[in-house]
Amino acid sequence: MKTATITQLKLRAHICKTCHPSFAEEIIEYIEVFNPEITEPEQVDALLEWESYWEVYKDVHNISPRGTSYKDRTAKEWKAAVDDLKKQL
């Protein structure tokens, strides 16, 4: 059994606090596998908002956005971008 680090425990607590319980474990696994560089709650928030941006962008433009990363903006900036895209729906 793998022992969790303090950072991992902190991220788990943040995800469990901010996400719907049915999605929390899936998000934790996704981050551990595909984004192990994420070590701060702010990065988790940016990733989740970026994923929302990705989905809404596809709905608006019928194509996936290319060349973007959750690292490009803060969660607040991604949320503003999502809100702007939603106005186009």
Backbone Cα Rg of the chain:
14
Decide if 1 is inside a domain.
no
The predicted-structure confidence for 32-48, as pLDDT tens digits, reads as follows 999 999 999 999 999 99
pTM of the predicted model over 0.75? yes
The conformation of residue 89, written as its DSSP 8-state character, comes to: -
Q: How many domains does one find in the chain?
A: 1
Decide if 42 is inside a domain.
yes
Decide if 80 is inside a domain.
yes
Q: Which residues of 26-41 are buried (b: 16+ CB within 10 A; e: fewer)?
A: ebbeebeeeeeebeeb
Distance in angstroms (rounded) separating the CA atoms of residues 6 and 20 = 22
Find the domain containing 36 and state its range: 6-86
Averaged pLDDT in 10-residue chunks for the chain of 89 residues: 82 94 92 94 97 97 96 98 96
CA angle 29, 60, 64 (to 5 degrees): 45
